[in-house]
Structure formats: C-alpha cells, structure tokens
Amino acid sequence: MIHIESLGKKFGSFWALRGLDLHVEQGEVFGFLGPNGAGKTTTMRMLVGLIRPTEGRLSVAGIDVVSEPIRVRQIIGYIPDRPYLYEKLTAREFMLFTAGIYGLSPKRQEQRTHELLELFGLEDWSNELVESFSHGMKQRLIMAASIIHQPQLLVVDEPMVGLDPRGAVLVKELFKRLVRDGAGTVFLSTHTLEVAEELCDRVAILNKGKIVAMGDVESIRKQVGVKGDEKLESLFLRLTGGPDVVESLEKARL
C-alpha cells in the first residue's frame, strides 16, 4: 500500500529526514513511532502531499504522490495532530463540504454525514458552529470527516490527543474495523506506546530521521537483544536514548 524509497526532506541546511525506506502492506495497522523531532510528522505530510520531498520516491497503492497528487488524495484520509477546521461552519456543513470535495453524490453526502456524526457522538451538535466545540469534539469531527469517502489508507498523527476514554475506545475500534473489513490500511503515529502495542501489526521506530528498528514487538525485542516480554515502551527508550534520561533524573535526585 505504501512504498517509500530513499526519502529525504531538507529544510534550509538541515536534513529532517534522509534515506528513509519503508513498505506497508495493505490491511496493516502500522505504527510509525519516534521521539519529538524524529521526522514522523514530516514523513506523514509528504505522504499526504502537503509538502514535497527533497529526494526519494513515495507512492500509495501504486500511485506516485508527487506526480499524481490528486489521485492519491482521493484514496487517503488524513487525521493531523492538530485539527484544521472551518470554525464558522456547523459540524453538518463541514461534513457535507468535505464529502463534496471528494465527489460524493448529494444523497451519499447526507447519508455518510448522518452516519458518522452519530457514530462519533456529534449528532446532537450537528447544527452548532465548530468554533463552540471542545478540542476533543473537534478531534472527533476531523476523524469523522477523514473517513467520509471510505479511504483505502488512513494516515493518523497522534489520534488520542484530547479524546476522553470513550472517544479513545471508539477510535481504536474504528481502526480495527477498517482493517478487519478489508477496506483499508492505517498508518499511525502516536506517543501512546500502549496503544501502538495493542493495535499495530508492525511498527517502525524512527530516531534522528532514520529507522532504528522495525517489525512486530517480538522481532524488535530480538533486534534490541533482549529476552522475555519486555514492553514496547521499554524497547523504545533503549533505541532512542531513554536510559540517558533515566540516568539524568537519578543524578538530579528526581
């Protein structure tokens, strides 16, 4: 589903990412993990066509992201880490607007809008302006809008930020259903490593713009060289410099 070859992005003289190779199969929930500044969001923004790569290639379902951006966007849903919404629209208007961009028929627009606002617990606020919504409600609305066209690939950057426990459970079940029903692939970035361990078939751990480990949790344990059932969080810290943080805290007697 996703093919990335020798991908790099340069901002001024700084390479945020370089030499990235990654392949994600159709029907996977794939975790893209790393500390702040590792290059995760940069990669995702290139994948959905918001910024252009400096070097390398990336494609979705065999479609080149750079040369055919419109075709790619028709089959991708994107949930950013911060909701970008037209706040002077109502929730219903925003959903219909999004559905129209994706070319759904008027009847289908109404059907999907009703279904998804109800699913995400926003039906009672459908005629309220988005500017009056809490952060969690805005996050649920952008999630609903991102799947209104039933995308083949859902790209998700920090999905749990601002969600209450019910919303978090709903989102996790949604990701599982998208894959289980054979409708799509989920490419997921999160700092909540318990969520990644629970949901993801495989993960890639990124550090300083490069992948330092990739596979299921068991294969990452082998790559790190540990035995037993060590959790993904501990493995992540080993691979990204976490032990130094712990040592620093101990020295500071915190």
pLDDT band at 254 (very low <50, low <70, confident <90, very high): low
Q: DSSP class of residue 22? A: E
Q: 188: which strand partners? A: 31, 156
Q: Tokens 């995702």 sit at which residue? A: 44
**CATH class entry, domain 2-75+152-251:** alpha beta
Strands 153-157 and 185-189: parallel
Q: Are 115 and 107 in contact (CB under 8 A)?
A: no
Q: What is the pTM of this model?
A: 0.89
Residue 38 per-residue DSSP state? S
**CB-based contact 224:239 (threshold 8 Å):** yes
Give residue-wise pLDDT tens across range 100-130. Answer: 999 999 999 999 999 999 999 999 999 999 9
Section 77-86 average pLDDT: 86
Looking only at the bridges linking them, the beta strands covering 153-157 and 2-11 are unpaired
Domain with CATH 3.40.50.300 in the chain: 2-75+152-251
Average pLDDT over residues 221-239: 88
Whether the pLDDT of residue 246 is over 80: the answer is no
Of 222, 225, 205, nearest to 214 by C-alpha is 205
Q: What distance in Å separates the CA atoms of residue 229 and residue 7, rounded to the nearest whole number? A: 33
Q: What percent of the chain has pLDDT over 70?
A: 93
**Contact of 111 with 96, CB cutoff 8 Å:** no
